[in-house]
Amino acid sequence: MSKKRFKVAMVGLGFGAEFIPIYKKHPHSEVVAVCRRNEAEMNKVADHFGIAKRYTKFEQVLADPEIDCVHINSPIPDHAWMSMEALKAGKHVMCTVPMATNIEDCDKICQLVADTGLKYMMAETVVYSREFLFIKEMYTKGELGKIQYMAASHPQDMDGWPDYWEKMIPMHYATHVVSPVLGLVNGRAEYVSCFGSGTIRPDLAQKSGNTFAVETCHIKIKDSDISAQIWRCLFDTARQYRESFDVYGTKKSFEWTLVEDEPHVIHTAKKPEPEIASKIKVPDYAHLLPPEIREFTRSIQDADHLSFVQGGGHGGSHPHLVNEFLSALVQERDPWPNAVTSANWTCVGICAHESALQGGQIVKLPSFTLN
């Protein structure tokens, strides 16, 4: 087995700080640097984790030849340019969602990956959550039968989050609902049709240029008879946070709980009606990980961060994400999702909003995301 250890720089230390102890314990990595604009806050994190190199400018990270890879956890408008600059500087990239907020930037990142041979992975938490891994296992074993339909929802009230959220459009942060429906069947979105519904308050609408409170999108999956439906809202819609994923098969179906922390439900076909639905406890998948990082499917380092107050630990996905990225580097293969898959997942939301602005017209995904 390879003894290679990749040297990682963590960029953005809000949600990003959560990943530092995982990289520190993973057998194939070490965290050699952190980067954050606020020096005092950066030093607190670096002191806590004993990290020597501290940079307040991203350019300093890129100029450091010791660094092999960057894990970007900056605000959303910075994901695309930071990913591009890192690839140009010869660094592998793991970047939190979404890949970008426009199609051109997704294309440029895919091009850079193709040109440089470097690895890019979008750190999509949902497809490494225990629920997704459980459903995927059931699907792979044939327990669901043929899949007939999938649905996913992500309502989240973003009042009180960092300011840049006020400029966001619901479908421009849709990867948590796009990724499970496409990821389960390893499909590509071919085209979408999306409707906007309701209105948000005028000050928010002015900042984002979007008026819709909710956006609801149908996705046609390429070379498949399955279509899926997703919905998103960010403001002014009363609903507890939820990143749900429902899958309907011929033999069994999985339905997400309506209320956080209550059991999910499995429906089994052809049973007497009262026995069709049964509540289940989803198992943990730490056994898929190197022993050194198994504890991190259950332990949360920064439980006060808003993403944990609402996101509940993202289904134990963080160590799986780190392990997939590093395994891909060690094995010199593409990570999942790679750049093109990440672009397809991200562009669904971008195309969906375009569709909503045109009253639900079908919008095709760009061809570079279909390969």
Ligand X SMILES: NC(=O)c1ccc[n+]([C@@H]2O[C@H](COP(=O)([O-])OP(=O)(O)OC[C@H]3O[C@@H](n4cnc5c(N)ncnc54)[C@H](O)[C@@H]3O)[C@@H](O)[C@H]2O)c1
Q: Residues interacting with ligand X, by CB under 6 A?
A: 11-15, 35-38, 58, 73-76, 78, 96-97, 125, 162, 307, 311, 314
How near is the Cβ of 362 to ligand X at its closest, in Å? 28
Measured from the CB atom, the residue of 158 and 363 that comes closer to ligand X is: 158
Measured from the CB atom, the residue of 74 and 227 that comes closer to ligand X is: 74
Q: Which pair of structure tokens corresponds to residue 214?
A: 């909710």
Query: Using an 8 Å Cβ cutoff, are 257 and 263 in contact?
Result: yes
Measured from the CB atom, the residue of 92 and 314 that comes closer to ligand X is: 314
Measured from the CB atom, the residue of 220 and 320 that comes closer to ligand X is: 320
How near is the Cβ of 43 to ligand X at its closest, in Å? 12
Sequence-distant (6+) residues with CB within 8 A of 19 are 10, 71, 73, 318, 321, 322
How near is the Cβ of 161 to ligand X at its closest, in Å? 7
Sequence-distant (6+) residues with CB within 8 A of 40 are none
Q: 31: closest CA among 13, 53, 48, 47?
A: 53
DSSP secondary structure string for all residues of 23-53: HHHSTTEEEEEEE-S-HHHHHHHHHHHT--E
How near is the Cβ of 339 to ligand X at its closest, in Å? 17
Measured from the CB atom, the residue of 280 and 306 that comes closer to ligand X is: 306
Instruction: Report d(CA 66, CA 194) in Å as an integer.
Output: 46
How near is the Cβ of 133 to ligand X at its closest, in Å? 16
How near is the Cβ of 297 to ligand X at its closest, in Å? 15
Measured from the CB atom, the residue of 77 and 359 that comes closer to ligand X is: 77
Measured from the CB atom, the residue of 79 and 294 that comes closer to ligand X is: 79
Measured from the CB atom, the residue of 234 and 365 that comes closer to ligand X is: 234
Measured from the CB atom, the residue of 95 and 213 that comes closer to ligand X is: 95
How near is the Cβ of 242 to ligand X at its closest, in Å? 13
Backbone angles phi, psi at 44, to 5 degrees: -60, -50
- Chain residue whose CB lies nearest ligand X: 14
Q: Which pair of structure tokens corresponds to residue 276?
A: 């069709």
DSSP secondary structure string for all residues of 194-233: EEEES---HHHHHHHS---SEEEEEEEETTSS-EEEEEEE
How near is the Cβ of 204 to ligand X at its closest, in Å? 18
Bridge pairing between strands 6-11 and 189-197: unpaired
Say which DSSP state 111 is in. Answer: H
How near is the Cβ of 176 to ligand X at its closest, in Å? 7
Residue type, 45: V
Say which DSSP state 8 is in. Answer: E
Lay out the sheet containing 53-55: strands in order across: 53-55, 29-35, 6-11, 69-72, 92-96, 120-123
Measured from the CB atom, the residue of 96 and 323 that comes closer to ligand X is: 96
The 3-class secondary structure across 265-332, one letter per residue, is: EEEECCCCHHHCEEEECCCCCHHHCCHHHHHHHCCCCCCCCHHHHHHCCHHHCHHHHHHHHHHHHHHC
How near is the Cβ of 282 to ligand X at its closest, in Å? 18
